[in-house]
Amino acid sequence: MRERMNRYILEMQNIVKEFPGVRALDGVTFSAAAGEVHALVGENGAGKSTLMKVLSGVYAHGSYKGEIKINGEERRFSSVRDSERAGVVIIYQELALVRQLSVCENIMLGDEIHKNGVIDWPAAAEKAAAALKLVGLDINPDTKVSSLGVGQQQLVEIAKALSKDAKILVLDEPTAALSEGEAEKLLSLIKELRGRGVTCVYISHRLKEIFRIADRITVLRDGKTAGTFGKDDLNEAGLIAKMVGREVKDIFPSRRHEFGPAVLDVKNWSASDAAYGMKLKNINFSVRKGEIAGLAGLVGAGRTELAMSLFGVWGRKESGELVVDGKQVPRFTPKALIKAGVALASEDRKRWGLVLIHDVKSNITLSSLDALASFGVVNENAEVSAAEKYVREMAIKTPGLEQKAGNLSGGNQQKIVLSKCLMILPKVLILDEPTRGIDVGAKVEIYGIINRLAEKGVAVLLISSELPEVLGMCDRVFVMRAGRISGEVSGAAASQENIMRYATA
């Protein structure tokens, strides 16, 4: 009996957390054994982040019901500090580092070694070096965090967590912003940590990774525990079914493939940005009517930069032409491209796609205000009808049109951005990582939307780092490397290996 109790380093029992109008957690039970990697999966809105916030003390004891036990002992955390002292450290998707400070300063942030208020720098440097060694990051601790890549920054965060003596490490979507290589490194690090007895709670949408690394998987659905499984107890399809509550037969729905003439023609496009030292060189490609073309490549190959450059919001254009539906685009500003019929749903939707403090209706109609207005005055009837139409057609889950966009889940926010794009009736739709950070159910819906668009004759350019997505959705794939198009694959030659070969050669 004693053996079994001590096996669980973490037990969360019957956690109930309510917000005005919604029960985010409805009696969730979650346990993790010492030294295991336990994956926590579920759709957006299922309650994963809320559960972790309860665990970490962001939601202090008293604001939720239920018990948290660490090593069999009940704990009541009233702040993040409390939970950290108990060995619980969370690494969020949006990293919590101070970019202008050095690695060493970040590692000791909040936990400074000092004598009478004066910082002991030598001791701090030693501590930082030891922590960096643990994660296998070979850099000078005095390096400014802002000069590190995202992957390295993440390792710094993990180093920071380990130096706080973390026994339970929670990782929230750790590989979402990493390149393939960095993600590999991270997964091996986690395996190593497990070997050292650190318990890892791994929250991710990337099911393939989860099957590689997790010992057990807990599925949350609608604020309840839908089950805890050993990794051999079910396969990917079964896991998805548990997450969504129904069978999801085909993630990539089928569609008719009928192509017309080229609608988007990028000719000899060169642009550069001195600040980031990146250059786009002589890019040539085209997308046909009704076609979904993929743009693949590693992080940093220049795909997002290309899209943003076409819209005039990245770098300076050195040469090139853009022809849309036979007409040359005269100027490269978002307004001109939208007028020409090109819509862009950019990569970072919270930054480039939405005004989070404004409502669903205003966000959907933001690019089409002129069309809804006469003599400069917006026709409110037309605006509401238009917004309602898209909410219906895209199945956007929102309590109403006046809900603030920032309150909706990632998947619904992305649908709002897509609605805004579609409202201009585009001939070309450029999508940059459209399903990043979105749960499986919403992903399938978005794939369906993209397919229907292509069937209606819109030319779609799909920029994505998820190769299965690229291969499942696209008719052809252009691959970029170091600012150039390094290859094109289609048909039988379309495989992950071939794409990777062009992406890295």
Partner 1 sequence: MTLYEHIREGFHKNIRQYTMVMALVLIWVALTLFTDGVFLSPRNISNLFLQTVTVGIVACGMTLIIVTGNIDLSVGAVAGFAGAVAAVLQVNYGWGTVPSVLAALAAGLLIGAWHGFWVAYRKVPAFIVTLASMLAFRGAILGVTGGATISPLRDSFKAIGTNYVSPFFSGLIAALCVLGFVAVQLRMRKRRMAYGFPVLPLSAETLKLSVQAVVLAAAFSIMIFNQGIPYAVLLLLALALAFGFMAQRTVFGRRLYAIGGNAEAAKLSGINIDRTLMKMFMLSGVITAVAGTVMTARLNAATTSAGVNMELDAIAACVIGGTSLMGGEGTIVGALIGALIMSSLDNGMSLMNLDITYQYVVKGLILLIAVWVDISTRRK
We find the least distance from the C-beta atom of residue 402 to partner 1, in angstroms, to be 7
We find the least distance from the C-beta atom of residue 123 to partner 1, in angstroms, to be 39
Does position 378 interact with partner 1 (CB under 8 A)? The reply is yes
Nearer to partner 1, 154 or 309 (CB): 309
Does position 139 interact with partner 1 (CB under 8 A)? The reply is no
Nearer to partner 1, 113 or 384 (CB): 384
**Which structure tokens are listed for 480?**
């970029």
Does position 233 interact with partner 1 (CB under 8 A)? The reply is no
Nearer to partner 1, 228 or 403 (CB): 403
Looking at 118, 274, 357, 505, which residue binds partner 1 (CB under 8 A)? 357
Nearer to partner 1, 165 or 370 (CB): 370
How far are the Cα atoms of 111, 138, 156, 200 from residue 128, in angstroms, in the given order? 12, 11, 9, 21
Does position 333 interact with partner 1 (CB under 8 A)? The reply is yes
Question: How many CA atoms lie less than 13 Å away from 371 in the CB half-sphere?
Answer: 14
Q: How far apart are CA 429 and CA 463, in angstroms?
A: 11
Does position 402 interact with partner 1 (CB under 8 A)? The reply is yes
**Which structure tokens are listed for 204?**
């991710």
We find the least distance from the C-beta atom of residue 460 to partner 1, in angstroms, to be 18
- Taking Cα atoms as reference points, which of 311, 486, 378, 441 lies closest to residue 41? 441
Q: How far apart are CA 290 and CA 427, in angstroms?
A: 10
Helix (H, G, I), strand (E, B) or coil at 250: coil
Looking at 61, 352, 389, 494, which residue binds partner 1 (CB under 8 A)? 352
Size of the site for partner 1 (CB under 8 A): 35
Backbone φ and ψ of 48, nearest 5°: -65, -50
Nearer to partner 1, 148 or 417 (CB): 417
Does position 344 interact with partner 1 (CB under 8 A)? The reply is yes
End-to-end CA, the chain: 57
Looking at 22, 98, 355, 493, which residue binds partner 1 (CB under 8 A)? 355
Q: How far apart are CA 36 and CA 356, in angstroms?
A: 38
We find the least distance from the C-beta atom of residue 353 to partner 1, in angstroms, to be 6
How far are the Cα atoms of 82, 253, 294, 376, 425 from residue 474, in angstroms, in the given order? 49, 12, 6, 41, 21
Q: How far apart are CA 391 and CA 385, in angstroms?
A: 10
Compose the 408-447 pattern: x for residues touching partner 1 by CB under 8 A, - for all others.
------------x---x-----------------------
Looking at 196, 351, 392, 456, which residue binds partner 1 (CB under 8 A)? 351
